[in-house]
Amino acid sequence: MLNGAPYIILVNPQLAENVGMTARAMMNCGLYNLRLVNPRENHLCDKAISASSNASSILENAQVFSSLKEAVADLHHIFATTARRREMIKPIYLPETAMKEISQNIENARYGVIFGAERTGLENDDVAICDGIIEIPLNPEHTSLNLSQAVLLIGYEWQKLKNTRDGKILITNKTEISTKEEVLTFLDFVENELDKVGKFDNDEKRPRMVRNLQNMFVRADITQQEIKTLYGVIKFLTNKKEAE
Amino acid sequence: MLNGAPYIILVNPQLAENVGMTARAMMNCGLYNLRLVNPRENHLCDKAISASSNASSILENAQVFSSLKEAVADLHHIFATTARRREMIKPIYLPETAMKEISQNIENARYGVIFGAERTGLENDDVAICDGIIEIPLNPEHTSLNLSQAVLLIGYEWQKLKNTRDGKILITNKTEISTKEEVLTFLDFVENELDKVGKFDNDEKRPRMVRNLQNMFVRADITQQEIKTLYGVIKFLTNKKEAE
């Protein structure tokens, strides 16, 4: 678990709704500290609160400043987010690299990530005072993002650092994956039932069919509960056969 | 460059605006194939087109179906996106893992990623026919995302696979990082100028000050252009001194 988190700083946001949606995106990503530089609309108006969904607390705690310099005065490192390359000598980060750098130092330093106004983005003067630029890797022909979506993608990379889940897990709830013995015993049962029905035991296609069944059931990561369901299906089918 | 891309499938989307914003998010992420199952509003209405920003082509090419089964009939693998754990035995993926799996097989199979309606999400019956579940790792206390934002995060992980940029690069534009000789020659020049001004050459603090300057300038990854600026500043300062 990370202690602390970067400040999210919106410069000249135009629409209260976007500020509200930004708060919601921040809440989704475990970011709670919002700073606003000269917002055009009141960030506590109904539109903003409504757009924030359940994140109005972030709006209520937001700090408002009249210049970017004031908004970053007490911070140690600040990143500008921009899709436009500038004629500036500045390190350009992928979002995940910037978030990793922040997380490694967040206990000893205060960080901010700065977002420009809708449409116009950040001014060169704003970018110049930043330690680095975060460039979100998007379709190069369509990089224009809604303000809250830019915040969401940066926040997502922040929240991802806290994830401890594996990339792919099988949720089995109250049951477990069958052991090889359980799967193979079931397949023996199927073979037996097939043999009972007819000439399958003498068929030259038999070995291939058995291998096909093995391949399929092994691949399916079948659970104990599912094996029970399958026994039920086969028994139901064969009882029906016998009853015919 | 990846050939092909997964289909994005929205089940019962309620608001045309969200469908439009989804198209925009898809365009940001190099996803072009949209399928809609029983959209409540016309996906080509003004609200949708306007919300799509420059992605109306995706709306115009979207296919509409009357059931999820029809919408996925020609696909080989489908993923459900949901934040709610179900009583189902199903592999659960992180977005990046699912996108990697898709990208590794996209040339031989058609994939779909399925998103439920605003508020209600996907029904259990929808999830049951999916090969796997994608669970976006968010703040566990606030996982509720706007529909287009869920599509954006999945699309972002797709688009990230195409990124070849390093995590941190220094953009120097027309100049280059200075060599060690260039930096040290400049620092010698500074020392010299300081010595000219006064007693700095006899000061016992001299070695420490020189090391401080070295540390600072080495750390800054200073470019040739910036060294020129610094020479200019020092020369300007010393000329002024002489003129006094």
Binary contact (A89, B173; C-beta < 8 A)? yes
**Sign, CA torsion A142/A145/A151/A153:** negative
Which residue of A lies nearest to B160 if distances are taken between CA atoms? Answer: A137
User: What residue has token string 């300081």?
Assistant: B194
Mean pLDDT per block of 10 residues along chain A (244 residues) reads 80 97 96 97 97 95 97 96 86 97 94 95 94 95 92 98 92 86 92 80 79 85 91 85 50
Contacts of B152 in chain A (CB under 8 A): 149, 152-153
What does B6-51 look like in DSSP terms, one character per residue? PEEEEES---HHHHHHHHHHHHHTT---EEEES-SS-TTSHHHHHH
Which residue of A lies nearest to B170 if distances are taken between CA atoms? Answer: A91
C-alpha closest to that of A182 among A215, A212, A225, A235: A225
pLDDT tens-digit map of B192-234: 888 887 766 667 888 888 888 888 888 888 899 999 999 999 9
C-alpha closest to that of B183 among B238, B228, B232: B228
Digits of tens for pLDDT over chain B (244 positions)?
A: 345 899 999 999 999 999 999 999 999 999 999 999 999 999 999 999 999 998 999 999 999 999 999 999 999 999 999 988 888 888 999 999 999 999 999 999 999 999 999 989 999 999 999 999 999 999 999 988 999 999 999 999 999 999 999 999 988 888 888 988 999 999 999 888 888 877 666 678 888 888 888 888 888 888 999 999 999 999 888 876 554 4
Question: In 10 A of CB A176, how many CB atoms?
Answer: 12
Q: Is-contact A17 A128, C-beta < 8 A?
A: no
Contacts of A24 in chain B (CB under 8 A): 146
Q: Is-contact A68 A124, C-beta < 8 A?
A: no
Q: Which helix (H) or strand (E) holds B237?
A: helix B224-243
pLDDT tens-digit map of B93-114: 999 999 999 999 999 999 999 9
Contacts of B30 in chain A (CB under 8 A): 139
User: What residue has token string 């055009």?
Assistant: A40
Residue A17 confidence (pLDDT)? 96
Measured in angstroms, the CA of A51 and the nearest CA of chain B are apart by: 10
Which residue of A lies nearest to B164 if distances are taken between CA atoms? Answer: A137
Strand A111-115 to strand A77-81: parallel, antiparallel, or no bridges (unpaired)?
parallel
Contacts of B149 in chain A (CB under 8 A): 25, 28, 148-149, 152
Q: Is-contact B66 B128, C-beta < 8 A?
A: no
Alpha-carbon distance A109 to A102, whole Å?
9
Q: Which helix (H) or strand (E) holds A243?
A: helix A224-243
Return the structure tokens found at B242: 């002489």
Contacts (Cβ under 8 Å, ≥6 apart) of B184: B214
Residue B201 confidence (pLDDT)? 65
Q: Which of A50, A89, A221 to mutate to test the interface with B (most CBs of B within 10 A)?
A: A89
Out of B91, B132, B171, whose CB is closest to A89? B171
Measured in angstroms, the CA of B187 and the nearest CA of chain A are apart by: 21
Which residue of B lies nearest to A23 if distances are taken between CA atoms? Answer: B142
Contacts of A158 in chain B (CB under 8 A): none
The complex scores an ipTM of: 0.88
What does A27-90 look like in DSSP terms, one character per residue? HHTT---EEEES-SS-TTSHHHHHHTTT-HHHHHT-EEESSHHHHTTT-SEEEEE-SS--SS-E
Residue B191 confidence (pLDDT)? 87
pTM: 0.89
Binary contact (B143, A28; C-beta < 8 A)? yes
Q: Is-contact A136 A145, C-beta < 8 A?
A: yes
State the Cα torsion A10-A14-A15-A16 to the nearest 10°: 60
Q: Where are the beta strands (DSSP E) in B82-233?
A: 90-93, 111-115, 132-134, 168-171
